[in-house]
A and B are shown apart, each in its own frame.
Chain A
């Protein structure tokens, strides 16, 4: 058995685009020739409530379809971090928007990474709405769960038409942050 499985949890509040980020991650995994399952949970509110999207990426077909202990977690709000971080594997990677998340978990065993995704999207790309794509590019480069090329290929058809170039730019900006 050589099945490699990666569980990823993306969390924030409604409107930050964690569900779309999860969908693109799943699409990119398929582009990489992997299997993927993406699911999502959210409250009744379109914006502001808790939102979560989870993705499993594996080399073999996925039977158990839900995340139980994520290898990677992204938190785009303090509330999301506090609510969902408990299941993160001790050796897991935690990625935060470090200007929206002030209090990090006391458990120092996690690999903790982060940047001001939202600020960078707002100031450099002039579209706060693509903060999720900046995060996604960063995630791909920092963890290697999907390739950057696959992420690029996942964009057409995965985002509203007319916004492809902006999203790709945001992804590339996020990826570049890892080397900054």
Chain B
């Protein structure tokens, strides 16, 4: 495979979706399967143009169900794999997402969110899939998701998503929205040798294939991949550490669920990426993720300039929910305002976490738009009365 040209080092005025594709290529992604959908289409378009030139494979599938299936299959051949879609596509991917979790298949799913429910409105930004990616597939499991707030983060967090997927052998979401996907900003792509690229652990090639414990290790089992002499039984049904089915014993189910969950839960703290400002003495803290987080930051700084004790928090990691960091940063505040471009999907998680604060859920005046500074300032002034 050619690595020549995979990393386009330089400084660009680049669209978020294109930066995401470049991030994937820089991370080492060499397989993309997807079905076009606004506002994520540019990612597929860009990967289709770029992957053949770096020895990779692009497939436009017949739908999102098969797209997700292809990504899982490709990952089991040892190739870093991804897909990109929007909410309607995520709905279709849910069954296979559960399969990826159960089989511990590293892959990256980019969700450039748009207005919903149903086909909704294609190019208007919305944060409608926050809980869907966490709880959308059936059963009990943990999700990992990062929410970019800039074209630069579309690049950086796509790399982080791949590194996390490879390290933990699990699907990882990039939860963007139409505004972040379509916006153009300065994007700096670093030199190839300065980009960290983590890879899954493989079993020893000489090992007895029947002796390989390729599943269910909270410290992440080595992944037997096809085409390297490994043999493995890969199933979405309840299985043991050797991948062998056990669909009879409750104890097997208990281990299956708890170990898969523990693999993520134990790492909640190390997975937590969170940006903050002026929280230590704030009486009001504005919280927003994705692009809304930049509104929270800008309005908080505007309030500070007016002498008001306001801070801001932008969780970059949304799942696993970074509860300890959020609690620490909110400790001194009386009011915590959860700004979301939806009717309050993450707010209940904050309300359950922060017992000593007044936690407000605050959508924008018009869903699909960014919170207007004047609107938030009037709420801040009301809270500080």
Question: Interface of A with B (CB < 8 Å)?
Answer: 23, 26-27, 30, 35-44, 62-66, 68
Query: In the complex, A42→B123 CA distance in Å?
Result: 7
Asked whether, in the complex, the Cβ of B13 is within 8 Å of the Cβ of A39, the reply is no
Q: Which of A23, A35, A38, A65 contacts B291 (CB 8 A)?
A: A65
> 10 closest A-B pairs (Cβ-Cβ)?
A64-B298, A63-B298, A38-B184, A39-B183, A27-B13, A66-B370, A30-B13, A26-B13, A37-B185, A63-B297
Q: Which of B123, B186, B297 contacts A30 (CB 8 A)?
A: B186
Q: Which of B122, B182, B295, B298 contacts A40 (CB 8 A)?
A: B182
Question: Taking the complex as formed, is B301 at the interface, i.e. its CB lies under 8 A from any CB of chain A?
Answer: yes
Question: Taking the complex as formed, is B179 at the interface, i.e. its CB lies under 8 A from any CB of chain A?
Answer: yes
Nearest Cβ on chain A to B9's Cβ, whole angstroms: 16
Asked whether, in the complex, the Cβ of B183 is within 8 Å of the Cβ of A37, the reply is yes
Contact partners of A63 in chain B: CB under 8 A? 294, 297-298, 301
Query: In the complex, A22→B242 CA distance in Å?
Result: 56
Question: Taking the complex as formed, is B373 at the interface, i.e. its CB lies under 8 A from any CB of chain A?
Answer: yes
Asked whether, in the complex, the Cβ of A35 is within 8 Å of the Cβ of B186, the reply is yes
Query: CB within 8 Å of A: which of B294-313?
Result: 294-295, 297-299, 301
Closest residue of B by beta carbon distance from A40: B182
Contact partners of B150 in chain A: CB under 8 A? 65
Asked whether, in the complex, the Cβ of B372 is within 8 Å of the Cβ of A68, the reply is yes
* Interface 1/0 per residue, B106-147 and A, CB below 8 Å: 000000000000000011100000000000000000000000
Asked whether, in the complex, the Cβ of A39 is within 8 Å of the Cβ of B179, the reply is yes
Contact partners of B182 in chain A: CB under 8 A? 39-40
Closest residue of B by beta carbon distance from A158: B13
Q: Contacts A30-B13, A63-B294 given; indicate if A41 touches B183 (C-beta within 8 A).
A: no
Asked whether, in the complex, the Cβ of A65 is within 8 Å of the Cβ of B179, the reply is yes
Report which residue of A27, A35, A40, A43 has the largest number of chain B beta carbons within 10 angstroms of its beta carbon. A40
Q: Which of A42, A43, A65 contacts B370 (CB 8 A)?
A: A65
Question: Interface of B with A (CB < 8 Å)?
Answer: 13, 38, 122-124, 150, 179, 182-186, 291, 294-295, 297-299, 301, 369-370, 372-373
Nearest Cβ on chain A to B287's Cβ, whole angstroms: 16
Query: In the complex, A117→B179 CA distance in Å?
Result: 29
Contact partners of B294 in chain A: CB under 8 A? 63-65
Q: Which of A23, A41, A42 contacts B13 (CB 8 A)?
A: A23
Given contacts A26-B13, A26-B184, A41-B124, 15 further A-B contacts (CB under 8 A): A23-B184, A30-B186, A36-B13, A39-B184, A40-B182, A41-B123, A44-B123, A64-B294, A64-B295, A64-B299, A65-B150, A65-B183, A65-B370, A66-B369, A68-B373
11 interchain pairs, CB-CB under 8 A: A23-B13, A30-B186, A35-B186, A36-B13, A40-B182, A41-B123, A44-B122, A64-B295, A64-B298, A64-B373, A65-B185
Query: In the complex, A44→B119 CA distance in Å?
Result: 12
Nearest Cβ on chain B to A86's Cβ, whole angstroms: 14
Query: In the complex, A38→B183 CA distance in Å?
Result: 6
Query: In the complex, A66→B180 CA distance in Å?
Result: 11
Query: In the complex, A165→B368 CA distance in Å?
Result: 39
Contact partners of B124 in chain A: CB under 8 A? 41
Contact partners of B185 in chain A: CB under 8 A? 36-38, 62, 65
Query: In the complex, A30→B122 CA distance in Å?
Result: 30
Query: In the complex, A27→B38 CA distance in Å?
Result: 24
Nearest Cβ on chain B to A3's Cβ, whole angstroms: 11
Q: Which of A37, A42, A44 contacts B184 (CB 8 A)?
A: A37
Nearest Cβ on chain A to B368's Cβ, whole angstroms: 10
Nearest Cβ on chain A to B111's Cβ, whole angstroms: 19
Closest residue of B by beta carbon distance from A23: B184
Nearest Cβ on chain B to A105's Cβ, whole angstroms: 22
Query: In the complex, A180→B306 CA distance in Å?
Result: 46
Contact partners of A62 in chain B: CB under 8 A? 185
Closest residue of A by beta carbon distance from B124: A41
Nearest Cβ on chain A to B276's Cβ, whole angstroms: 14
Nearest Cβ on chain B to A61's Cβ, whole angstroms: 9
Query: In the complex, A65→B294 CA distance in Å?
Result: 7
Closest residue of B by beta carbon distance from A62: B185
Report which residue of A30, A37, A40, A65 has the largest number of chain B beta carbons within 10 angstroms of its beta carbon. A65
Contact partners of A41 in chain B: CB under 8 A? 123-124
Nearest Cβ on chain A to B364's Cβ, whole angstroms: 11
Contact partners of A66 in chain B: CB under 8 A? 179, 369-370
Closest residue of B by beta carbon distance from A44: B122
Closest residue of A by beta carbon distance from B369: A66
Query: In the complex, A33→B295 CA distance in Å?
Result: 24
Query: In the complex, A23→B151 CA distance in Å?
Result: 14
Query: In the complex, A38→B182 CA distance in Å?
Result: 9
Query: In the complex, A64→B185 CA distance in Å?
Result: 13
Nearest Cβ on chain B to A56's Cβ, whole angstroms: 10
Query: In the complex, A42→B370 CA distance in Å?
Result: 16
Contact partners of A43 in chain B: CB under 8 A? 123
Query: In the complex, A39→B125 CA distance in Å?
Result: 11
Query: In the complex, A26→B184 CA distance in Å?
Result: 8
